[in-house]
Amino acid sequence: MQYPVNFIVAIALSAIISYLLGSISFSIIFTKMFEKKDIRTMGSGNAGMTNVLRSAGIKPGLLTIFCDFGKGILSCFIGIQIFVALLGSGTELARYGVYIAGIACVLGHMFPFYFGFRGGKGVLTTAAVLLMIYPPLIAVDFSLFLVIAIISKYVSLGSVIAASTFPLWGWMFNYFLLFRTGQVSLTYMTITTLLLCFLSVCIDIRHRGNISRLIHGTEKKFSLHHGSH
C-alpha cells in the first residue's frame, strides 16, 4: 500500500505548491511597478503578456514573459522532484509529476489565489509546461502559433489553435516514443492525453471572449503601441 499512499501525497504536494507558485501574477505585479495601475483595468482587461505589452510597454511585458514562463518551468521541476523522491525515478507513476504540477501551475495563473482568482489565460505558462513534458512538443506548437499569429495578426487566433492541437502532439509523443517502445502502459498514455485535453479546454474557455470577437470580426490585431486599447 506504500505506492498508492505516496502517489496521493505526491499529487497533493505537487498540486498545492505549483498552484500557489502559479498564482503569482507577474503581469499584475510588474504593471503596478511600472504604471501604478492594475493591468486588469487596462486594455483588454486580461492579466497576460499580450495585454501588458500593448498597455504597459516593452519592459514590463518582457519581464512578464520571462517570469510567467519561468514559473511554469520551476513548478514542473518541483513536481518531478517530489514524484521521484516519493515514488522512485524508474516508476511509471513518477512520470505523472510534470503533468500534475504543470496543470496546477496553469490553473494558478488563471485563477490566482493572491489576486482574487482573476488571472490570465495561461498560454505562456502552458508553453513552459509543454517544454518540460517533451521539448519538441513546444517546438511544433509554437511554430504553429507563430505562423498563424504572424499571418493573421491575431495573437488570440494563434493561441486558440495552438491550444486546441497540443493534445494531439502529446498523444503522438506518448504513443510513438513511449507506448510503442514499452516504456509506459496504455493507462498512462490515456490519462496523460486526457490531462492535456483538460488543459486545452481550460485555455480555450479562457479565450471564449476572443473567439466570439474573432467570429464577429471585432477582435483587435496585435500592436506594440504603448497605451493602445
**What is the 3 state secondary structure string of 66-115?**
HHHHHHHHHHHHHHHHHHHHHHCCCCCHHHHHHHHHHHHHHHHHHCCHHH
66: which 3 cell numbers?
520571462
Per-residue pLDDT tens for 142-171? 999 999 999 998 988 999 999 999 999 999
Residue type, 37: K
Is 196:166 a contact under the CB 8 Å cutoff?
yes
What is d(CA 105, CA 98) in angstroms, rounded to the nearest whole number? Answer: 10
The H-assigned helical ranges of the chain are 2-22, 26-35, 49-55, 58-87, 97-110, 123-133, 135-152, 155-173, 186-206, 208-216
**Alpha-carbon distance 146 to 163, whole Å?**
13
Residue with cell string 488563471: 110
Task: With 0.75 as the threshold, say if the pTM is over it.
Answer: yes
Q: DSSP secondary-structure letter at 220?
A: P
Residue (of 124, 115, 126) closest to 39 by Cα position: 115
**Counting Cβ atoms within 10 Å, is residue 212 exposed (0-12), middle (13-18) or buried (19+)?**
exposed
124/49 Cα distance (integer angstroms): 8
Say if residue 26's pLDDT is above 90.
yes
Mean pLDDT score, 29-33: 96
Half-sphere exposure of 208 (CA within 13 A, CB side): 4
- Condensed to tens digits (0 to 9), the pLDDT of residues 93-139 reads 999 999 999 999 999 999 999 999 999 999 999 999 999 999 988 88
